[in-house]
Structures are given as structure tokens and as C-alpha cells.
Amino acid sequence: MELTERKLKILQAIVSDFILTAEPVGSRTLARKYDMGISPATIRNEMADLEEMGYLTHPHTSAGRVPSDKAYRLYVNRLMERYELNEAQKRRIRKALSVNIAELEHTIRHASELLSELTNLTSFATVEDMYRCRLFLEGMTRIFAHPEFNSIERARDFLQMVDRKDDLTETIVKRDDGITITIGDENSPDIMEGSSIITATYHVDGQFVGKLGVIGPTRMRYGEITSVIEFMTKNLDRSFKLTEGDKDE
């Protein structure tokens, strides 16, 4: 079955709507909220095709559909719109990260705290040197604000994951350099089911030092969060240069 432009447009709208609402999306909702130029019946048929292709799932308690991990991967790779930070956000990040090299660990922790606050997710940062790798976790309770983590079982699984700090550190350290997004089952068994991780590397005076990122439900604002992390790591790189450079993007 072909993934046509119309199917892509419908899938993009479903993923975007579900990220915002955490509610299953129906054909009438799409017809009402998005200018599709087609009837709810046509949308419903296209959604049935997308479900058959593995991009949507159908919760038993709802007539609507929700994206699968496969849909999130397609969204991240092809459909996600780039998010542009506003000037107030940029100024706040630059100010928070404007430090000198002697304050490395303190600033990385501060960066992780700020990242958790800006994304409303659990954030982490690693600081690596020739002797060891330290992992800092921030905002661990923020993840419980998301409905996916409301059940006792999910909360327990999350706390067990972060309690295995050595395993979590090893998993993060082994991730590819640059911006890396792993969704659901793409993650290692050490990461709890139904979670996504976004990481980016940062440097000090051009040398790799560690990774900064977030963990949260697969239903996350990928475009916005990726832009925040990317902007933060670029400014960390600049903040830690031993010689002064242009601080602006």
C-alpha cells in the first residue's frame, strides 16, 4: 500500500494533535481542526489504511487513533516542522550558560535543570573525563505530569530505570554523537517501554565532554525539544571556549 501525500498529511495532523492533547484522534476532529479539503468519511478510510500499515493503533476504549512508534519515527524523519526559539528563550539560555571553564560541572548541572524546566521532562547530562563519567538527572518528578506515567506501574518502572544509574549512564554514553532521537522500541532494554530519548553532544574548547538530553513519553514535542537541546549545546560549546568568540547565533 502506497504512503501517499494525502496519507502523510493526515498522519502529520494526527501526530501533531496527539502530542498536544494526549487524546486519541478521530476523523471528525481532523476535519474540524485541520483544512484537509476532504470529508470525514474519506479521512476515516485513510486512517484505516494507516492503521493497516502500522502507523496508527486503535485503543479499545476510543473510536480515535493514536500514533505508533513507527509513526513517530516517520514524523521525526520527514514530517516534523523545525521549531524556532523566541528571543526571550535564547537570551535566557545564553545568560544561564555564560560562564568560564572552571565552572564546568556546575554549569552542566544548571544546563540540565534549565532543559528540564523548558521541556517539562526529565533531563540528564553527562560529564566525561579520562577517569570517569558522571551522570546528572534533573526534574525526575516532572515526567509524572504526563498522563502516560500516571499509573503506579509506569511510575515504578521509571524509578527503577533511573535507580539503575550505571546502566543508564552506559546507555547514554554509547549513543551516537550529534542530535540523536530514539523512539520506543528503538531504545535498549535498559530504557523503560514507551519512552523516547533525545540527546546531543557538547564540547569544551572543541573537545568532546559529554551529552545533554531528555527522556519522556513517545508523545513529546520532538521539533521544539530538539531545537532547545541543539541551541543549548551550541551555546555550551561557545561558553566554554578558552578564547572569546561571538556569543550569538
* pLDDT, tens only, 168-185: 999 999 999 899 999 999
Which of 44, 63, 79 corresponds to the end of one domain? 79
More confident residue, 85 or 190: 85
| pLDDT confidence of residue 242 | 41
pLDDT at 247 over 60: no
Is the domain of 46 the same as that of 125? no
Q: pLDDT tens-digit profile of 31-56?
A: 888 888 888 899 999 999 999 999 99
Same domain as 220, residue 100: yes
d(CA 16, CA 166): 35
Average pLDDT (56-76) is 89
Q: Provide the percentage of residues in the chain whose pLDDT is more than 70.
A: 92
Instruction: Tell me which of 128 and 21 has the higher pLDDT.
Output: 21
What span, in angstroms and rounded, lies between the C-alpha atoms of 192 and 154? 9
Q: Is residue 46 part of a domain?
A: yes
CATH of the domain at 163: 3.30.450.40
Q: Which residues of 187-202 are buried (b: 16+ CB within 10 A; e: fewer)?
A: beeebbebbbbbbbbb
Is 155's pLDDT higher than 70? yes
Domains contained in the chain, number: 2
65 with 138, same domain: the answer is no
The pLDDT score that the predictor gives to residue 241 is 60
Q: Does 129 lie in the same domain as 47?
A: no
Q: Give 2-27 pLDDT, tens digit per residue.
A: 899 999 999 999 999 999 999 999 99
How far are the Cα atoms of 34, 57, 64, 106 from residue 25, in angstroms, in the given order?
Answer: 12, 11, 5, 43
Picking from 44, 48, 19, the residue whose alpha carbon sits closest to that of residue 31 is: 44
| Domain boundary, last residue among 79, 98, 132 | 79
Q: Is there a domain that residue 245 lies in?
A: no
Please report, for residues 70, 108, 194, the alpha-carbon distance to residue 142 in angstroms, rounded to integers and kept in the order given.
Answer: 26, 19, 16
